[in-house]
Structure 1
Amino acid sequence: MNKSRNQKMSEEERIKQRNLSWRERRRIISRVLFIVLSIVAALIVAFALWIHAVE
């Protein structure tokens, strides 16, 4: 009985750890995407201003 309980607890702990790691991954991915998209947007704006200045 104790072994089965320990196995169930370990499975629940593994699921919790997976959820936590997935949340951390989502946070990291969202931060990286935000930074990359910000840089791309800044480059597009700079390119548009440069074209406007040349013309």
Structure 2
Amino acid sequence: MKFASLTVILVAFTLAACGKPTAPDSPDPSAYGKVITPDHHVPKEHQNTDEKT
């Protein structure tokens, strides 16, 4: 009985892993050229705002 439940769990994980990826098919063109805003949890004195990425 233990092997049957283990097999069912493994099959369920395999089917879940083989599903469609959650990433979008293509990037959002309206986001091109936008700068990522700094994390608001980082104190101002530790944020480097003049750095270009």
Which has more radius of gyration? 1
Alignment TM-score > 0.5, same fold = no
TM-score by length of 1: 0.42
User: Larger % of helix: which?
Assistant: 1
Normalising by structure 2, report the TM-score.
Answer: 0.43
Structure with greater contact order relative to length (CA < 8 Å, sep ≥ 6) = 2
